[in-house]
């Protein structure tokens, strides 16, 4: 699949962009540790050249915190198109400014910054509205253009389908258009409170804002990974009356019940999720949010078979559960990643019930990051550290992929430290080694 996608992309040629994708190394040949993809379930920590300023708007960041995301598991399983051997992964990172290009005046060496997971130009029609993931000028993937009619912004470390930019599971990262794609972090905000602005916090917030969750709503959330756990909390912040989370992993269900005080459904026990939800909320949900990873994990034999036979890339099971349990004129939102085509989507329910069905898109971090930092994190109105279960060193990154994939040791969200990370903030997990996690 990867080879075919790369051949097709090669034949179509790159879309013109305003940015250089591959970075220049430093003249002295210095290297850094980075996590690279080599094949399905084959990722390795390698020595890669340390990036230097390549375009005049670049900022080089020395990483003080990075992590792994549920989205990385789609890459790990080779389910996102156009991965190439040696691609450096990772799209959530923060650090200290190490070098600035000649056009950069907003940042100086030593400033603490967090990156948005997307690379935006700051000038196009979408960027002007801060819809940074929809930037028109940073993703050269003609394959994505051919499949969707348009292209997303470039994304750090997320395959050549999103531009082929080296990512942030590394000791250094080159950030193109650094003034646009970095947010200054005050010294008073520790790493564990700032890192997740990159993606998880802004993405989960976007799912709630985009679907219009409001006071008194009953909200269903499919998937209780970091995105679902945070979405549940944001829904409560926005005044939701009830939040019901659906998953099958015991630690995650318990985590949501006890740490966030929401109701849950274990779909391994209640295999008919529609029936269970209809019992719990007879009138139907106001808002249903897909925050699982279900496109990769079909539940029924029918969809397992269709996926194996490559008759569909994605499956509609969670979407159909949402369409069946949301009330008439209710809203369904998709924040979980979907990539291609799903058979048997209940379009009749969508139409007849007058449902607002929203593709939330890759979340535009830059639309929300100042609000989340200044209105929620700094005044302690939202504590993102509730979801951090582990801290590991970057050298364990390859092992972390396998352990995170198996959801070992009750893992929800991980803080990955580098040699220059400050010590853990008070109350946050101390360093552990993946080899010592329970199996
Ligand atoms: N739109 C964006 O900008 C954006 C950004 C980040 C992540 N994502 C996507 O959001 C999703 C969640 O991310 P995460 O980091 O929380 O992932 P995760 O893999 O840690 O968690 C996903 C959870 O969904 C559960 N799940 C799987 N199938 C399910 C089903 N049929 N019903 C209910 N639950 C189900 C799993 O058991 C798991 O606990 C992923 O698909 C990820 O790719 C999207
Ligand atoms: Zn992510
Ligand atoms: Zn743009």
3-state SS, one letter per residue, for 165-182: ECCCCECEEEECCHHHHE
Ligand 1: residue whose CA is nearest its atom 44: 336
Q: CA angle 5-198-160, nearest 5°? A: 10
What are the tens digits of pLDDT across the range 363-386? 999 999 999 999 999 999 999 999
Ligand 1: residue whose CA is nearest its atom 10: 336
Residue 191 reports pLDDT greater than 80: yes
Percent of the chain with pLDDT over 70: 98
CA gap 101, 156 in Å, rounded: 19
Domains of the chain in sequence order: 2-199+364-436 (3.90.180.10), 203-359 (3.40.50.720)
Q: How many CB atoms lie within 10 A of CB 302?
A: 13
Confidence of residue 1 (pLDDT cuts 50, 70, 90): low
Question: Could you tell me the two tokens for 328?
Answer: 């008439």
* Mean pLDDT (whole number) for 116-135: 97
Residue 298 reports pLDDT greater than 90: no
CA gap 35, 33 in Å, rounded: 7
Q: What is the pairing mode between strands 242-247 and 218-222?
A: parallel
What are the tens digits of pLDDT across the range 27-66? 899 999 999 999 999 999 999 999 999 999 999 999 999 9
Check residue 191 and give left, alpha or beta (phi > 0: left; psi -120 to 50: alpha).
alpha
CA gap 209, 130 in Å, rounded: 15
Q: Which residue has the tokens 């269970």?
A: 276
Nearest atom of ligand 1 to the alpha carbon of 318:
31
DSSP-assigned letter for residue 86: T
CA gap 68, 202 in Å, rounded: 16
CA gap 358, 333 in Å, rounded: 5
Q: What is the pLDDT of residue 143?
A: 77
User: Is the separation of the CB atoms in 211 and 286 below 8 Å?
Assistant: no
Side by side, the strands of the sheet bearing 87-88 are 42-49, 31-39, 87-88
Residue 198 reports pLDDT greater than 90: yes
Residue 81 reports pLDDT greater than 90: no
CA gap 135, 227 in Å, rounded: 23
Residue 11 reports pLDDT greater than 80: no
Ligand 1, residues at Cβ distance < 6 Å: 69-71, 73-74, 199, 203, 222-228, 246-249, 252, 267, 291-294, 297, 299, 317-318, 335-337, 360, 362-363
């Amino acid at each position: 699949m990867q080879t075919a996608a790369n051949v097709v992309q090669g034949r179509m040629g790159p879309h013109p962009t305003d940015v250089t994708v591959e970075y220049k190394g430093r003249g002295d040949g210095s290297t850094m540790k980075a996590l690279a993809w080599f094949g399905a379930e084959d990722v390795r920590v390698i020595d890669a050249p340390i990036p230097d300023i390549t375009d005049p708007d670049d900022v080089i960041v020395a990483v003080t915190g990075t992590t792994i995301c549920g989205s990385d598991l789609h890459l790990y399983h080779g389910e996102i198109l156009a991965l190439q051997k040696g691609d450096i992964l990772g799209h959530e990172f923060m650090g200290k400014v190490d070098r600035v290009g000649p056009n950069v005046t907003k940042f100086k060496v030593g400033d603490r910054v967090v990156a948005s997971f997307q690379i935006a130009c700051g000038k196009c029609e979408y960027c002007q509205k801060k819809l940074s993931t929809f930037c028109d000028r940073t993703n050269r993937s003609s394959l994505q253009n051919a499949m969707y009619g348009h292209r997303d912004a470039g994304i750090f470390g997320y395959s050549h389908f999103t531009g082929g930019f080296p990512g942030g599971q590394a000791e250094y990262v080159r950030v193109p258009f650094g003034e646009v794609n970095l947010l200054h972090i005050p010294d008073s905000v520790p790493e564990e409170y700032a890192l997740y602005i990159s993606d998880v916090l802004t993405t989960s917030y976007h799912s709630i804002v985009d679907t219009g969750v409001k006071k008194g709503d009953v909200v269903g959330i499919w998937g209780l990974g970091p995105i679902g756990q945070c979405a549940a909390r944001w829904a409560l912040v926005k005044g939701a009356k009830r939040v019901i989370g659906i998953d099958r992993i015991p630690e995650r269900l318990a985590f949501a019940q006890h740490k966030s005080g929401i109701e849950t459904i274990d779909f391994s026990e209640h295999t008919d999720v529609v029936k269970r939800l209809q019992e719990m909320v007879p009138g139907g949900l106001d808002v249903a949010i897909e925050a699982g990873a279900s496109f990769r994990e079909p539940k029924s034999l029918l969809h397992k078979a269709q996926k194996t036979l490559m008759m569909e890339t994605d499956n509609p099971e969670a979407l159909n559960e949402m369409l069946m349990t949301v009330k008439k004129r209710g809203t369904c939102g998709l924040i979980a990643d979907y990539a291609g085509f799903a058979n048997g989507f209940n379009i009749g329910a969508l139409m007849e019930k007058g449902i607002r069905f929203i593709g939330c898109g890759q979340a535009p971090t830059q639309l929300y990051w100042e609000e989340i930092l200044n209105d929620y994190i700094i005044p302690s109105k939202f504590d993102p550290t509730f979801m951090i279960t582990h801290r590991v060193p970057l050298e364990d990154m390859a092992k972390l992929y396998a352990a995170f994939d198996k959801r070992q040791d009750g893992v929800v969200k991980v803080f990955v430290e580098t040699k220059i990370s400050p010590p853990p903030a008070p109350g946050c997990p101390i360093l552990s080694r993946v080899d010592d996690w329970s199996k």
